[in-house]
Amino acid sequence: MRLALILLPCSMLAACGGGGSDPCATSNCNPETRTTIKWSFDHYPDRGFSMDSCTDLGISKVAIDMVDSLGGVSSLTEECGNGQIAFFGLAPGDYTVYATPMDAAGNALVTAPAPGTATVGEINDNKEATVQVPADLWIGPYTGTFLFRLSWGGVSCDAATPEIKSQIVTLTVNGIVQNVMTDDGQMLNGSDKKPCKKLTDEFPQSAVLVPFGLATLTVEGFNATDDMMFSKQFDTFVGAGISNPTLTFDVPMM
């Protein structure tokens, strides 16, 4: 038992480079700067949309280029699902960052790398930055599910004052009015007046295979005598894929 206690530290010492071996032979033991670059896709919080995922857009890897003030480039590639990559040993200063999402074959999924900025700090002053890839850069085409609920002055249509009996909804994506139908049979092209959808209904209204991109939603609400009482146009977004979030739009009284 005593022998084992004596030999264990020696064994550990040898594994750590004792006995004349160089503990830094396969790694850099000097302190370095560290800069973490993160990425997000279609992040539009002002439109109620958090972001699309790697799976939604078919992204396998993301290539990041860091360009310094003299034009020098440092490049790394990481699995998309990791959400970030770290650069070590860059000279402190301001950099331009370019993010290129790629498919499994290494093909770029954007028409041009998405630009951003980052600052590399001094040693022990670790920095991070996020590059946003906007909707207009994707090669696509993509489609998505648009899910929404409507409230009227903050309440359900049957509780609004005056009570809303019917609604007209117009969805425009990338400047084009959409001839798509919701799961409960309402056309979203602005021509289809239907009974109001209660905010308290179990499921939201939804439309599938809607073109991906920046969108607007125009909502009109009518009372029992068919007078338009509520109206509002909202900036929104149709994300790629089938699992988009449900967006709630509160229509104010005119």
Nearest to 188 by CA among 145, 157, 134: 145
Over the stretch 216-239, which tens digit does the pLDDT of each residue have? 999 999 999 999 999 999 999 999
Fold that domain 30-137 belongs to in CATH: Immunoglobulin-like (2.60.40)
Contact 224, 164 (CB under 8 A): no
CA dist 57 and 41 (Å) reads: 9
Question: pLDDT below 70 — which residues of the chain?
Answer: 1-29
In this structure, whether the domain defined by 143-251 belongs to CATH 3.20.19 is answered with no
Over the stretch 198-207, which tens digit does the pLDDT of each residue have? 999 999 999 9
Nearest to 98 by CA among 70, 76, 121: 76
Chain centre distance of CA 1 = 58
Contact 243, 147 (CB under 8 A): no
Look up residue 190 and give its amino acid: G
Compute the Cα dihedral for 186, 187, 192, 193 and give only its sign: positive
Q: Where in the chain is the domain with CATH 2.60.40.3540?
A: 30-137
Nearest to 244 by CA among 130, 103, 177, 148: 148
